[in-house]
A and B are shown apart, each in its own frame.
Chain A
Amino acid sequence: MTLLDVKDLTVSFSTADGIVKAVRGVSFSIDPGQTLGIVGESGSGKTVLTQSLLRLTPGADISGRAEFDGLNLLTLTDDQMRGIRGAQIAVIFQDPLTSLHPLFKVGWQIVEMIRVHDKSVSKSDATERAVDLLRRVGIPQPEQRVNDYPHQFSGGMRQRAMIAMALALSPKLIIADEPTTALDATVQAQILDLLLHLQKESDTALILITHDLGVVADIADDVMVMYAGRAAENASKDDIFYRPHHPYTKGLLESIPNSSAAAERLKPITGQPPSLISLPTGCAFHPRCAYVMERCLIEEPALVAVGAAGAHRSACFLPTRAVGLGEETEELRRSAVGEGRHAAAAEVAAAIAASPEAEGSVIA
Chain B
Amino acid sequence: MSDTLPQGGTPSLHPESELEDDVLVQVDNLVKHFPVKAGGLIGRTVGQVQAVDGVSLTIRRGQTLGLVGETGCGKSTLARCIAGLIPVTSGRVTFEGRDITNLSRRAMRPFRREIQMIFQDPYGSLNPRRRVGAIIGDPFVIHKTATGAQRKRQVQNLMERVGLNPEHYNRFPAEFSGGQRQRIGVARALALRPKLIICDEPVSALDVSIQAQVLNLLSDLQDDFGLSYLFIAHDLEVVRHVSDAVIVMYLGKIAEAGPKRPIYEMPRHPYTAALLSAAAAADPKLAAARQRIILTGDVPSPINPPGGCRFHPRCPKAAELCSQQEPPLESKPGDPATHVTACHFPVEAGENLALAGRRERP
Contacts and interface: CB of A to CB of B under 8 A. Distances in A.
Interface string B327-357: 0000000000000000000000000000000
A265 B208 contact: no
B215 interface: yes
A208 to B, nearest CB: 12
Contacts of B157: none
A213 interface: yes
Contacts of A241: 282-284
Contact of A259 (B180, B240, B280, B297): B240
B234 A266 contact: no
B320 interface: no
Given A189-B294, A266-B215, A217 B284 contact: yes
A357 B216 contact: yes
A187 B282 CA distance: 18
A238 B282 CA distance: 11
B209 A262 contact: no
A338 interface: no
A32 interface: no
B100 interface: no
A356 B220 CA distance: 11
Contact of A185 (B217, B234, B264): B234
B295 interface: yes
A217 B287 contact: yes
Contact of A188 (B177, B278, B283): B278
B229 to A, nearest CB: 15
Contacts of A187: 70, 298
Contacts of A251: 209
Contact of B208 (A41, A184, A188, A237): A41
A253 B70 CA distance: 25
A213 B298 contact: no
Contacts of B274: 186
Interface in B41-72: 70-71
B213 interface: yes
A256 B179 contact: no
Contacts of A185: 70, 234, 236, 275, 278-279
Contact of A138 (B215, B236, B362): B362
A252 B287 contact: no
Which of B177, B180, B208, B274 neighbours the largest number of chain A CB atoms within 10 Å of its CB? B208
Interface string A87-131: 000000000000000000000000000000000000000000000
B74 interface: no
Interface in A248-263: 251-253, 255-259, 262
A42 B208 contact: no
Nearest to A263: B241
Nearest to A259: B240
A18 interface: no
B240 A257 contact: yes
Main secondary structure of the interface of B (DSSP, over half): helix
Contacts of A212: 280
A258 B237 contact: yes
Interface in A195-239: 211-218, 237-238
A144 to B, nearest CB: 15
Interface in B275-293: 275, 277-284, 286-287, 292-293
Contacts, number: 133
Given A156-B298, A186-B275, A189-B292, A255 B282 contact: no
Given A256-B282, A356-B163, A268 B212 contact: yes
B211 interface: yes
A255 B278 contact: no
B241 A154 contact: no
B318 interface: no
A259 B287 CA distance: 13
Interface in A142-173: 154-157
Contacts of A217: 280-284, 286-287
Contacts of B236: 185
A335 B5 CA distance: 64
B361 A266 contact: no
A266 B219 CA distance: 10
B178 interface: yes
A347 interface: no
A241 B71 CA distance: 30
A219 B278 CA distance: 13
Given A185-B278, A214-B279, A266 B241 contact: yes
Given A258-B281, A262-B241, A356-B163, A193 B292 contact: yes
B238 interface: yes
Given A266-B241, A272-B177, A138 B361 contact: yes
A258 B279 contact: no
Given A189-B295, A214-B282, 16 more contacts: A139-B362, A184-B299, A185-B70, A185-B236, A186-B275, A188-B278, A211-B207, A211-B208, A214-B279, A217-B286, A252-B208, A252-B209, A257-B212, A265-B219, A267-B212, A356-B217
Which 4 A-B pairs have CB atoms at the shortest separation, nearest pair first?
Answer: A214-B280, A268-B212, A356-B163, A257-B241
27 contacts: A140-B362, A184-B71, A185-B70, A185-B236, A186-B275, A186-B278, A189-B295, A211-B207, A211-B208, A213-B208, A214-B280, A214-B281, A217-B286, A241-B283, A255-B212, A257-B215, A257-B240, A257-B241, A258-B237, A265-B219, A266-B212, A267-B212, A272-B177, A273-B207, A357-B213, A357-B216, A359-B216
